[in-house]
Structure 1
Amino acid sequence: MTSSAAPGDAPGQRPGTGLRADAERNRDRILAAARHLFATEGLGVSLSAVARAAGVGKATLARRFPTRDDLVNAVFADRMDAYAAAVTTALDDPDPWHGFTGYVHAICAMQAADRGFADVLTMTFPAARALEARRAEAYNGAVELIARAKATGHLREDFTDRDLPLLLMANAGVVNATGDAAPDAWRRLVAHLIRSYAAPGAPIPPLPDAPPPAALHRAMVRLTRRTN
């Protein structure tokens, strides 16, 4: 008697992995497809689209990643590590204000480099425990960084840790709206925001040039097409 198997699920044990070789290849294809689609289209992409791009069935994807949170956790684990490391780097800066401004720029650059990660930093995924643990670690470090920057007299006293999510939401909005039409627009937004956080007399970064009118027009046309 013969047994049937779904495509991509044929027997073949890879020593020491606990996954059959073909199943592990499927997992790698799913992660690569999800990473690409999340980065270019954001987290709103359907799991069916991920499965198609990976060349596997929806059932195969569900076996590897039972929930969207499981997939998000696997795709963005390394980026969340970098996110947590950014605040550690900032805390190591002997100038807390410089560390703070560098941190803000670093995390916004991470968003600009990956639309999916731009969304991840403005959302929560309760089932993705490892990802949320790294987020909590980064948050605790940011609270300490804010206190140190205030102690220098350069960060406004009315700035709070709750302003960081607002910053990330604003930057994610610009990143998602402008895309490749005006890919550096976020830099000017972040520079304006840092200036608004600075107390009188604080050193502030230079203000990048505004996007050219034609680039902003392309971004607005692009956004209009996405909403229609």
Structure 2
Amino acid sequence: MTSHVPQTVRSDARDNRSRILDAARAVFGEEGLSAPMRDIARHAGLAPATLYRHFPTKQALIAQTFTEQRRACHAAVRDALTDADPWHGFQSMIQRICELHAHSRGFADAFMTAFPETMDFTADRERTVRAVAELARRAHETGRLRAGFVVDDLILMLTAHRGLQHAPLPARLIASRRFAAYVIEAFRAPEDGSAHALPPAPRLRHAHSPSTT
């Protein structure tokens, strides 16, 4: 009988870890990263000590919680870069990233916030910025991306998009699609070449959250 104890313990640990991650996706997804760890433990039906045994820090939990969203973000960037039509790839990337952010308030917070202990999200954000720079170069060559676009405009766009996060999810998704469509139209070069000059671009790439404790 004792030979089965280690396997049972491992099974219980796996189940607890899965429950914690499911709870974190739900709680962070709706409340954002400001949600306390005790709320996640409560949602998972576990003691806070159990949560901290699996994830000693909130940053560690955040990094694991959004693994699938990060993969989807990577795919959106990769697909955009391999699209034979740079302008179509550029539009598709904006639509898909907005949708990812709309589905989870927590992922939007994590993507847009610099965490010293969570370098994965910093790398994701920088990868996206580099992809936008390359896509913008190609789209400019087609004549369909307006003059004056800079990569910080993507951060400006996503910062504005975060304003949708307090709406209920169904309304948030509808608003996000409309927001993405408006942004794409703003980035599109006028066919007659009559685009007005834009104000100077802000430097927004290194945003910080006040606290995630």
Normalised by the size of structure 1, how large is the TM-score?
0.75
Residue 136 of structure 1 corresponds to 126
Q: 1:139 offset after TM fit, Å?
A: 2.8
| Cα RMSD (Å) | 2.1
Q: Kindly indicate whether residue 171 of structure 2 is the aligned counterpart of residue 178 of structure 1.
A: no
Q: 1:105 offset after TM fit, Å?
A: 0.7
Kindly provide the amino acid, as one letter, of the partner of residue 102 in structure 1.
Answer: S
Gaps of 5+ in 1: 1-10, 203-228
Q: Which digits, 9 at most, give the CA deviation of each residue in 1:119-178, with x for residues without a partner?
A: 22221222123343333333322221121111211112211111111111111212x132
Equivalent position to 1:94, from 84, 109, 116: 84
Q: Is this contact kept in 2: 1:155–1:199, CA < 8 A?
A: yes
Q: How does 1:74-85 map to 2 (within 5 A)?
A: 74-85=64-75
Kindly provide the amino acid, as one letter, of the partner of residue 46 in structure 1.
Answer: P
Kindly provide the amino acid, as one letter, of the partner of residue 98 in structure 2.
Answer: C
Higher RCO by CA contacts (8 Å cutoff, separation 6 or greater): 2
**CA separation of 1:141/1:181 partners in 2, compared to 1, >3 Å: closer, same or farther?**
closer
41-50 or 112-121: which moved more? 112-121
21-30 or 89-98: which moved more? 21-30
Cα separation, 1, equivalents of 2:116 and 2:146: 32
Pair member with larger Rg = 1
Q: 1:181 offset after TM fit, Å?
A: 6.6
Q: Which digits, 9 at most, give the CA deviation of each residue in 1:46-80, with x for residues without a partner?
A: 10100111122212211211111100100111211
Q: Is this contact kept in 1: 2:63–2:118, CA < 8 A?
A: yes
Q: How does 1:153-172 map to 2 (within 5 A)?
A: 153-172=143-162
Cα separation, 1, equivalents of 2:11 and 2:38: 23
Normalised by the size of structure 2, how large is the TM-score?
0.80
86-95 or 119-128: which moved more? 119-128
Q: Is this contact kept in 2: 1:27–1:64, CA < 8 A?
A: yes
Q: 1:193 offset after TM fit, Å?
A: 1.5
Higher helix share: 2
Kindly provide the amino acid, as one letter, of the partner of residue 182 in structure 1.
Answer: A
Cα separation, 2, equivalents of 1:57 and 1:129: 28
Kindly provide the amino acid, as one letter, of the partner of residue 97 in structure 2.
Answer: I
**CA separation of 1:60/1:93 partners in 2, compared to 1, >3 Å: closer, same or farther?**
same
